[in-house]
Amino acid sequence: MTAAYGELERRFRRLALLGEAAGVLQWDMAAVMPDGGSTIRGEQLAELKLLSHEALVDPRLGDLLDRAERDESATLDAWRRANLREMRRAWRHASALPGDLVAALSRATSETEMRWRGARADNDFKGLQPLMQRVLDLTVEAARIKAREFNVDAYDALLDEYEPGANAAGIAGIFDDLAGFLPGFIDRVLARQAKLGAPLPLGGPFPAAAQRALAERLMKAIGFDFDHGRLDTSHHPFCGGVPEDVRITTRWDEKDFTRGLMGVLHETGHAMYERGLPATWRLQPVGTARGMALHESQSLLVEMQASRSREFVSFLAPLAAESFGGGGAAWGVDNLHRIYTKVSRGLIRVDADEATYPCHVILRFRLERALIAGDMKLDDLPAAWNAGMKELVGIVPPDDRDGCLQDIHWPGGGWGYFPTYTLGALAAAQLFESAVRSAPEIPAALARGDFAPLMGWLRPNVHEKASSATTDEILLAATGAKLGIDSFKRHLQRRYLDG
Amino acid sequence: MTAAYGELERRFRRLALLGEAAGVLQWDMAAVMPDGGSTIRGEQLAELKLLSHEALVDPRLGDLLDRAERDESATLDAWRRANLREMRRAWRHASALPGDLVAALSRATSETEMRWRGARADNDFKGLQPLMQRVLDLTVEAARIKAREFNVDAYDALLDEYEPGANAAGIAGIFDDLAGFLPGFIDRVLARQAKLGAPLPLGGPFPAAAQRALAERLMKAIGFDFDHGRLDTSHHPFCGGVPEDVRITTRWDEKDFTRGLMGVLHETGHAMYERGLPATWRLQPVGTARGMALHESQSLLVEMQASRSREFVSFLAPLAAESFGGGGAAWGVDNLHRIYTKVSRGLIRVDADEATYPCHVILRFRLERALIAGDMKLDDLPAAWNAGMKELVGIVPPDDRDGCLQDIHWPGGGWGYFPTYTLGALAAAQLFESAVRSAPEIPAALARGDFAPLMGWLRPNVHEKASSATTDEILLAATGAKLGIDSFKRHLQRRYLDG
C-alpha cells in the first residue's frame, strides 16, 4: 500500500463511519424517535452531513487523489484501483458544486418536500409550483455544472449519483422498447385475467403479531440473520443500517397482509445484498453496493422473481393459512398465486404490479428528462402527465393528487432516480434467468422455502462484487450480456400468459 | 457577540451535535442493537470520539479561547462569560493529555472492563490485578499531568471531570462527618425495624406489561412527556438522549416490581433535569447539566425524597394494588412504605438503601484516594475493602466478587466518580427541604400524585441554571447554604426514627 493511497483509505474510512452514524440517526428517526425529537435530529444530521462534505472537499484530499492516480495507480491491484476510481467519483460529485448552491438546494428541497405533503392532500399543484420551480432551477444549475465537469449531458450528471456510468440515451432505448411492448402485453394479460374472474378474497382481519411472525419466518428462510439485523415498523418501509446490522422496516395493514408481507421480502432482498458485501472492503467506497439499479434488482429478485413465483407461493400458501387460520379455496396455492400476480391499471406507482410498474417509471423518466433539458415547462407537467398515463398505462388520473403530485422524489430533489426502479426490474429478471440456468435446482428449492441455492449464486455473482466493476460489467460476467429487456419480457410472458 | 467568542460558539455547537449523535448510537447499542452490530458500532463510536477530540484540541480553538478571554470577556454578559469558562474547562481536560496517553488509557480500560466481567464471575482479583494496575498507573499519570496543569491535587483533577470545582479535602470533611453519624444511626434504625418485624411479602409474579403501564402512569405524573422521550429496556438502566428526546431505560423483574419501579422514577428524575435545561443555551457548554452531583440529586430527589415519602406511597399503594390485582394488608400504604424504607446491611452498593448507600461510597472514596495518592497498593485493596466494610457497613464480604470486584468503575477508568453519588444524595435532601419550605403544598400534592409544585420549584432553582454557576453557587442561591449534611441527617432522622 502506497503513501497517498493509504492516507486516502484512512480518510474514506472516517467518511464511511460518519455516514453510518448518520444512518443510525435516520433509522432511529423513522422507527423509534418521538415526534418532539425531530427538529434537533434535523440539526444533528445536517451537521454530520456538513462535516462529511467538508472532509470530502478538503483540498488535501484532492491532492492525495491526484498523487495516487499519477504516481501509485500502476502499483495498485485491481480492487485498490477500483477503490481509487470510486473515491474520485465521490470527490467529483462533492466538489463540483459551490457551497452556496449545495446549501440553497438543501434548503429548497427541505421546504418543498415539507410543503408537498399538504399540497398533495389539497390537490394543489399550482400552490406547490413556485417551490417546485425553485428546486428544478437549482437542480438544473447543479446538473449543468456537473455536466461540464464530467463531460456528460446534464441529465446524465444527475443519473450518475444513483446509477454510476448510466446515460439517458441508453436508458431511452431500453425504455422505448419496453414502451412498445408493455401496453399491448397488459391488454392481453387483462383479457386473460378477466376471463378467470377476480381472485377470491382472503377475509381478515390479520393481526399484526401474526403477520410479523410469518414475515420473520420467511425472512429467516431467505437467510436474514436476526443476530445481524432487525425488523421494525415505520411509515415508509426501507432498508437501513450496516452490513453487520441491517435494519429493515415495514408497515402492517390488518385488513390485508399480502402487500405488507411482500414488502418485507422486498426489503429482505436489499438486506441480503448489504449482508453479502465483501467484509475485506468494509468502510471503503469499493466495498459498497454498486448502485441503485443493482440494489433494486436484489429486492425485486427476492420479491418479484422468487417470492411471487408459483413455486414459492406453493410453499407460502399453507403457512399463511396456518398463520391466519384460513382455509378453503381462497387459501389454496392457485388463489394466492392469482392474488400475487394480479395485473391492473392503477394510478399509483407504489401500488403497481410488475407489469404496469415500468410504465409509471417510463413516464417519469421522459418527463424529468424533458424538464431538465428545458424542453418542457413545469406549467405543462399536469397535462403531460395525464397524456403519458393515457398512452402508457391506459388510464387518466382524475386529479393531480393521484397524478403528478403523488411522488416525493421531485419535490425532494431526487431527479434522475426513477429509472433505476425499472433498470433494477430488468436486471432482476436477467440475473434470475441466469441463476436458474446455472443452478436448475433453484425453483424446486423455492418450493421448499429454501433460498440457499439462489443466494449461493447471487453472493459471488453480485453481492461480493460490490463496486469493483460497473453494473454492466457485473451483469455481463454474471449473465453473459449487458442489461437488456429480453429476460424481463420472457419472464412476463411465462408468468402472465403461458402459466 | 464578538468575533472570537462567536466562532467558539459555532465550534462548540458542532461538538455538542457530534456528542449527541454518539449518544444516539450508545442508546441504540444498549436498547435495540442486535449483538452482531457491536464491533462496527465500537468503531463508529471511536471515530466520533476521535473526531470530537481533534476538533477540541485544534490549536486554532485554543487561540480563539485566548483571544476571547483577553479581548472580549469584558463585553460578554454573565451567561456568555460562564459559557467561555465552560469551554475552557472542556478544552483544558482534552488538551492536557498527550494523544498516546489518551489512546493507552482507552485501550487499557476497554480491555480491563471486558476482563472484569469474567474476573468478577470467577472471584479472581489476582487475575485482574495486572490489568487493573495498568489502568491505575495510566490514571495516576494522567491525573498528575492534569494536576500540574490545573494547579490542584491529582485526585481533584480526576474529580473535576465529573464534579467541576470539587476537591477531595472538602469531600473528606463531609464524608468524615457522615461516617461518624451513619453507623450508629443504622444500628438504631435496624433495632427499630427489627421490633416491627419484616414487611409482608407482595406475592407475584408481576407481568412486565403491567409494570410498564404503571411506570408510564407515574412518569407522566412526574411530568415526563412521551412526545419528547421514550422508556425502553436495557441491561443497565440509564438516562440518555437529548433534552428534546430523553431516552430512559429500565429492566423488568417479574418476581419483584418494587425495585424496577423506583428505578424508572430515579431515571425520570434525571430526565426532568435534562428536559428542564434552558433552550436558549442548547448545544453550548453552559447549557448542559452542572455535574454528576447535581444530576444525581435530581434523580434522588424524585426517587428517595419524593417517591419513597409516606405521602407519595399513599398515592402509589392503591394504584399498585390495582395494577397487579393485589389486596389486603400487604398492599396497604403502611406495608408498601415499610418495603420502600427498609434498611439493611448489604454487600452490594447498587442494592443499598439510602441510609447504608453513603457508607459504600465513603469506602470507595477513601480507597481510590489512597490508591491515586500512592498511599496504598493494589495488593492491599481486598483486605482494606473488607476492613472498611466492617467499619462502615458492619459486615464483611465472603469473597471479592461481592467485595472489591463488584463495580465496573475502576476497571473502566471511572476514578473520582464515586463521591458524586453521595454528594447527590446530600444535595437532594437539602434541595427538597428548601423546596418544601418555599412551597409547603409539595407533600400534600405528592399524596395526590402531583409533582407540579416540586418541579415548579426545581425548574428555576436548578434545571434552568444549567452550568451558569458552580454547584455550590446553585445550592447557596436555592437553599441558603453550600452543600452540607444537615438536611440529609434531618431527613434520615424524620423518615427512619421519628416517622
Do A119 and A127 touch, CB atoms closer than 8 A? yes
Please, which residues bridge with residue B241 across strands? B246
Pick from B375, B367, B376, B444: nearest CA to B405: B367
Angle between helices B292-300 and B257-276 (to 10 degrees): 130
Spatial neighbors of B108 by CB under 8 A, at least 6 apart, are B131, B134, B135, B138, B413
Mean pLDDT of all residues in A456-465: 98
Decide if B244 and A37 are in contact by the 8 Å CB cutoff.
yes
In chain A, residues with a C-beta closer than 8 Å to the C-beta of B228 are 34, 36-37
In chain A, residues with a C-beta closer than 8 Å to the C-beta of B13 are 47
Query: Which residue is it, cell 434504625?
Result: B189
Helix (H) or strand (E) holding B241: strand B239-242
- Higher-pLDDT residue of A139, B114: A139
Q: Residue A343 and residue A339: Cα distance in Å, rounded?
A: 9
Model confidence at B364: pLDDT above 70: yes
Give the pLDDT confidence of A126-157 residue by residue, as tens digits: 999 999 999 999 999 999 999 999 999 999 99
**Catalytic residue status for A267:** yes
Strand order in the sheet with A229-233: A229-233, A245-250, A239-242
Model confidence at A2: pLDDT above 80: no
Mean pLDDT for chain B overall: 96
Confidence (pLDDT) at B486: 97
Nearest to B17 among A13, A28, A47 (CB): A47
The full set of domain ranges for chain B reads 1-96, 135-207+216-224+286-499
A–B CB contacts, 8 A cutoff, strictly below: 99
Q: Residue A92 and residue B214: Cα distance in Å, rounded?
A: 56
Nearest to A39 among B13, B35, B244 (CB): B244
Of the residues A12, A24, A33, the best mutation for testing chain B's interface (the one with the most B CB atoms within 10 Å of its CB) is: A24
Confidence (pLDDT) at B319: 98
Nearest to B34 among A28, A44, A245 (CB): A245
Q: Residue B382 and residue B198: Cα distance in Å, rounded?
A: 33
For residue B381, what are the CA distances in angstroms to A174, B44, B349, B407? 77, 36, 17, 14
Decide if B44 and A228 are in contact by the 8 Å CB cutoff.
no
In chain B, residues with a C-beta closer than 8 Å to the C-beta of A15 are none
Give the pLDDT confidence of B452-479 residue by residue, as tens digits: 999 999 999 999 999 999 999 999 999 9
Confidence (pLDDT) at B103: 87
Complex ipTM > 0.85: yes
Q: Residue B461 and residue B431: Cα distance in Å, rounded?
A: 9
Whole-number percent of chain B with pLDDT over 70: 99
Decide if B36 and A228 are in contact by the 8 Å CB cutoff.
yes
Spatial neighbors of A59 by CB under 8 A, at least 6 apart, are none
Position B1 confidence tier, pLDDT thresholds 50, 70, 90: low
Model confidence at B120: pLDDT above 70: yes
Min Cα distance A47 → chain B (Å) is 7
Confidence (pLDDT) at A55: 95
In chain A, residues with a C-beta closer than 8 Å to the C-beta of B25 are 21, 24
One-character DSSP codes across A406-458: S-STTTTT-TT-THHHHHHHHHHHHHHHHHHHH-TTHHHHHHTT--HHHHHHH
Q: Residue A266 and residue B245: Cα distance in Å, rounded?
A: 32
B404-432: b (≥16 Cβ within 10 Å) or e: bbbbebbbbbbbbbbbbbbbbbbbbbbbb
SS3 of B455, please? helix
CA trace torsion B296, B297, B302, B303 (10° rounding): 60
Mean pLDDT of all residues in A237-249: 97
Give the pLDDT confidence of B39-92 residue by residue, as tens digits: 999 999 999 999 999 999 999 999 999 999 999 999 999 999 999 999 999 999
Give the pLDDT confidence of B318-327 residue by residue, as tens digits: 999 999 999 9
Of the residues B18, B47, B225, B226, the best mutation for testing chain A's interface (the one with the most A CB atoms within 10 Å of its CB) is: B47
Min Cα distance A76 → chain B (Å) is 26
Give the pLDDT confidence of B129-155 residue by residue, as tens digits: 999 999 999 999 999 999 999 999 999
In chain A, residues with a C-beta closer than 8 Å to the C-beta of B242 are 37, 40
Nearest to A244 among B18, B37, B227 (CB): B37
Decide if B40 and A14 are in contact by the 8 Å CB cutoff.
no
Of the residues B43, B245, B247, the best mutation for testing chain A's interface (the one with the most A CB atoms within 10 Å of its CB) is: B245
Compute the residue count for chain A. Answer: 499
Spatial neighbors of A228 by CB under 8 A, at least 6 apart, are A243, A244, A245, A246, A275, B34, B36, B37
Chain B residue with minimal CA distance to A282?
B40
Do B332 and B203 touch, CB atoms closer than 8 A? no
Query: Which residue is it, cell 394504584?
Result: B319
Give the pLDDT confidence of A407-423 residue by residue, as tens digits: 999 999 999 999 999 99
Query: Which residue is it, cell 415519602?
Result: B309
In chain B, residues with a C-beta closer than 8 Å to the C-beta of A228 are 34, 36-37
For the record, the C-alpha cell of A38 comes out as 425531530
Decide if B245 and A37 are in contact by the 8 Å CB cutoff.
yes
Decide if B25 and A24 are in contact by the 8 Å CB cutoff.
yes
Strand order in the sheet with B229-233: B229-233, B245-250, B239-242
In chain B, residues with a C-beta closer than 8 Å to the C-beta of A242 are 37, 40
Min Cα distance A230 → chain B (Å) is 7
Decide if A17 and B48 are in contact by the 8 Å CB cutoff.
yes
Position B99 confidence tier, pLDDT thresholds 50, 70, 90: confident
Chain B residue with minimal CA distance to A45?
B21
CATH 1.10.1370.30 fits B135-207+216-224+286-499, yes or no: yes
Min Cα distance B241 → chain A (Å) is 9
Query: Which residue is it, cell 421514550?
Result: B230
> What amino acid occupies position A437?
R
Chain A residue with minimal CA distance to B27?
A28
Min Cα distance A231 → chain B (Å) is 11
Nearest to B36 among A20, A22, A244 (CB): A244
Give the pLDDT confidence of A251-284 residue by residue, as tens digits: 999 999 999 999 999 999 999 999 999 999 999 9
Of the residues A10, A15, A17, the best mutation for testing chain B's interface (the one with the most B CB atoms within 10 Å of its CB) is: A17
Alpha helices in B374-463 (DSSP H): 381-392, 419-438, 442-447, 452-461
Nearest to A36 among B48, B227, B282 (CB): B227
Decide if B226 and A47 are in contact by the 8 Å CB cutoff.
no
Q: Residue B190 and residue B193: Cα distance in Å, rounded?
A: 5
Helix (H) or strand (E) holding A239: strand A239-242
Helix (H) or strand (E) holding B242: strand B239-242
Catalytic pick from B267, B274, B311, B368? B267
Chain A residue with minimal CA distance to B48?
A18
Q: Terminal CA-to-CA distance of chain B, rounded, Å?
A: 55
Q: Which backbone phi and psi does B247 adopt, to 5 degrees?
A: -110, 110
Pick from A267, A274, A297: nearest CA to A472: A297
For the record, the C-alpha cell of B323 comes out as 395494577
Angle between helices B357-373 and B381-392 (to 10 degrees): 150
Whole-number percent of chain A with pLDDT over 90: 97
B132-161: b (≥16 Cβ within 10 Å) or e: bebbbebbbbbbebbbeeeebbbbbbbbbb
Q: Residue B135 and residue A467: Cα distance in Å, rounded?
A: 43
Angle, CA A134 vertex, CA A99 and CA A90 arms, to 5°: 35
Do B388 and B380 touch, CB atoms closer than 8 A? no
Angle between helices B357-373 and B168-196 (to 10 degrees): 150
* Strand positions, DSSP E, B25-167: none
CB count within 10 Å of CB A172 equals 17
Angle, CA A239 vertex, CA A233 and CA A245 arms, to 5°: 95
Q: Residue A181 and residue A493: Cα distance in Å, rounded?
A: 11
Position A99 confidence tier, pLDDT thresholds 50, 70, 90: confident
Confidence (pLDDT) at B2: 66
Q: Residue A182 and residue A180: Cα distance in Å, rounded?
A: 6
For residue B482, what are the CA distances in angstroms to B301, B423, B474, B478? 17, 11, 8, 9
Whole-number percent of chain B with pLDDT over 90: 97
Pick from B297, B397, B391, B292: nearest CA to B349: B397
Helix (H) or strand (E) holding B310: helix B310-324
Min Cα distance B25 → chain A (Å) is 7
For A155-499, CATH number out of 1.10.357.10, 3.30.930.10, 1.10.1370.30, 3.40.50.300 equals 1.10.1370.30
Mean pLDDT of all residues in B362-376: 98
Decide if B242 and A51 are in contact by the 8 Å CB cutoff.
no
Min Cα distance A84 → chain B (Å) is 22
In chain A, residues with a C-beta closer than 8 Å to the C-beta of B234 are none
B480 Rama sector, left if φ>0, alpha if ψ -120 to 50, beta otherwise: left
Do B418 and B371 touch, CB atoms closer than 8 A? no
Q: Residue B411 and residue A420: Cα distance in Å, rounded?
A: 52
Q: Residue B1 and residue B7: Cα distance in Å, rounded?
A: 10
Those residues of chain B whose CB sits closer than 8 Å to some CB in chain A are 13-14, 17-18, 20-22, 24-25, 28, 32-37, 39-41, 43-44, 47-48, 51, 225-230, 241-242, 244-245, 282-283
Catalytic pick from A9, A86, A163, A267? A267
Decide if A44 and B21 are in contact by the 8 Å CB cutoff.
yes
Nearest to B245 among A17, A40, A48 (CB): A40
Q: Residue B292 and residue B467: Cα distance in Å, rounded?
A: 12
